[in-house]
A and B are shown apart, each in its own frame.
Chain A
Amino acid sequence: MNPIGAEPYIVLSMVLFLMGALGVLMRRNAILLFMSVELMLNSANLAFVAFAREWGQVNGHIFVFFVMTVAAAEVAVGLALIVNIFRERQSINIDDLQQMQG
């Protein structure tokens, strides 16, 4: 039914993951940082689903489910934190949050 093996999906997942990692490194906007983390989680999910199909096991789908749940929780808490930080110092540039360094 599907002539494509898992490899192209894994390569795509790697590309997306590294792009997300780059976003975390390069962008200074806290919201964009979060979005990059979401991109990384999504690429991991893609790898999970590709491997699940390759091995014919539904367990991979279950883990994707859990990752999505954790991502939703993380986004909710993280965005609430960002809103609070923005109230405090009118900026969400992470370079302005120097005092968070130990």
Chain B
Amino acid sequence: MEWLFLVVSFVAVVAAGMMLTRQNAVHSALFLIVNFGCVAFLYLMLDAPFLAMVQVTVYTGAIMVLFLFVIMLLGAETTTDTSGRMRWLGFAGTAVAIVLLVIFAFPLASNMLTDEPTPQPDARARIRAINAIPGGDAQAFTVMDMGRAMTLEHTVPGIVLLEPVSESIDGLRLEGVVYEFSREAPQDYIDVAAGDYAIIAGVDYGEFDSAPIYAAPHSLAPDSAHSVVFFENADGFVDVTVLEDDISAPAVGKMRLTLINAVTDKQVALVDVGQYTARGTLCDDSACDSLIPHRVLIELLPAGARISLELEAGTYNLAFVDEEQNVLRTLANYDAERGLIETRVFVREPGMPGSQPSYRAAVFNAIGAPAFGSPESVGQVLFIEYVLPVMLVGMLLLVALIGVIVLARPDALAQAERRRINRRRRVNRPLASVISQQTGSDVLSGDYRAKLTGGDDPARE
């Protein structure tokens, strides 16, 4: 990486130097294009792919083409060199530039060479909460970073469930709320520093909170994504599990479906029943000697487990079945869009005690925080935080456009100049000449300037 930077920056500096020293303006422009290309490459190295592309299109494309166009339009490749009498300015400028460079760059360069490597920005990981507790409106959880003494808390708005915890677990101090999930968007990933976390959940029972539920400490690797799934275990208590998500793009023409089984007393399989309609069971007859034709997409999945599969794009009739071939839930005309990454959490619907349990495959499609420097992140900041500046810059471009149109009209300046001169002449004329102009008869004779200076009244003659 260092050698790449050195090569590209060397080319950039050389191109800039050539641009400065060429006598032919066209050559200068071409070298400047090389320089801009190098800068675009450096943008790529600086995790700014969007800006790199804008640099190529706007700078090396539009602006430099404009330059070349004007140079060739004017035929001004070479100009008479009159810098001879200002030669000292060049030398003085060079000297000042070198001195400035040494003054400014020396501390940086010395820091670069001697000090320890500069701290890199923290590696990031993504984590989200999936609340799969039946009727679970009042759950909260706190995710704590064990290594960094931070707390990550999820609260339902209006109900404070877990106070920021300040206690010691295994000798590590945990304190302070750092991240909050909002109830409105519980499926969104949040961006956290990579590291080891402890995950703590609590259930709100109205007046008092339950004792916190601890999940095993989990290591969030850089650039990974995890889901914290809260579900009710067989004993009716809230349990929590941390699953790593696969957020890489699915294969071309496919979608990735991830199934999490959050029903503790059921194993669930996902089958594609094709054209058939599964009514309550996959059995073809009451004795269940044969099954209707189906294709098993996911084998029986134990509680708390998670599995991913890639589906060809298309429309499916899917059914969730248990080990006795009972259909727990159907997904008719399921549309598998290509490129989609979908997480389905199989949960039990809250119901009256003793009633037949019903099930649901809740969708948690997460659009994670866009990567740094990507068009999404730039666009989000640009059009959310910087709307007014964007408008102003748009106005600026409009004004510049109009200005260029006015300037480019060949006789625009000449007409304006003539009008200005005419106006001045009228104003400078004495009153008498204005009267004579309006009446049509000459009220002046002789040199009115001399008469004016002589103090005679020209109108009397």
Residues in chain A within 8 A of chain B (CB atoms):
1-12, 14-16, 18-23, 25-29, 31-32, 34-36, 38-39, 42, 45-46, 49-50, 52-56, 58-59, 61-62, 64-66, 68-77, 79-84, 86-87, 91-93, 95-96
Contacts and interface: CB of A to CB of B under 8 A. Distances in A.
A80 B93 contact: no
A6 B28 CA distance: 29
B334 interface: no
Contact of B51 (A1, A15, A22, A64): A64
A6 B118 contact: yes
A86 B408 CA distance: 12
Contacts of A71: 59, 63
29 contacts: A3-B120, A8-B5, A8-B112, A14-B105, A15-B105, A22-B93, A22-B94, A26-B93, A29-B25, A32-B25, A35-B19, A39-B16, A45-B39, A49-B43, A52-B46, A53-B372, A58-B372, A62-B381, A66-B393, A68-B54, A69-B396, A69-B397, A70-B393, A71-B59, A72-B62, A75-B66, A75-B67, A80-B407, A83-B70
Given A53-B48, A54-B121, A72-B62, A27 B83 contact: yes
Contacts of B308: none
Given A39-B19, A62-B378, A68-B54, A11 B105 contact: yes
Given A72-B397, A87-B410, A92-B74, A22 B97 contact: yes
Interface string B28-49: 1100100110010011011110
Contacts of A14: 100-101, 104-105
Contacts of B42: 9, 12, 46, 49
A43 to B, nearest CB: 8
Contacts of B51: 45, 49, 61, 64-65
A22 B55 CA distance: 23
B28 A32 contact: yes
B74 A69 contact: no
Contact of B108 (A4, A10, A36, A73): A10
B450 interface: no
Most buried by B among A27, A54, A59, A81: A27
B233 interface: no
Contact of A31 (B76, B397, B401): B76
A7 B118 contact: yes
Interface in B351-388: 372-373, 377-378, 381-382, 385-386
Contact of B97 (A21, A58, A64, A84): A21
Given A12-B13, A35-B29, A56 B372 contact: yes
Contact of A68 (B58, B117, B382): B58
A19 B66 CA distance: 22
Interface string B392-424: 010011011101100110100100000000000
B50 interface: yes
Interface in B405-461: 407-408, 410, 413
Interface residues of B, number: 84
Nearest to B87: A26
Given A2-B45, A16-B13, A69-B393, A11 B109 contact: yes
B9 interface: yes
A93 B112 contact: no
B410 A19 contact: no
Contact of B82 (A28, A32, A45): A28
**Which 4 residue pairs spanning A and B have beta carbons closest together?**
A5-B118, A73-B400, A25-B93, A80-B407
Given A22-B20, A34-B67, A53-B46, A65 B407 contact: no
Given A7-B109, A58-B373, A80 B12 contact: no
A42 B60 CA distance: 11
A56 B42 CA distance: 17
B66 A79 contact: yes
Contacts of B67: 31, 34-35, 75, 79
A61 B25 CA distance: 31
B79 A65 contact: no
A30 to B, nearest CB: 8
B404 A77 contact: yes
B408 A26 contact: no
B97 A80 contact: no
B440 to A, nearest CB: 38
B108 A11 contact: yes
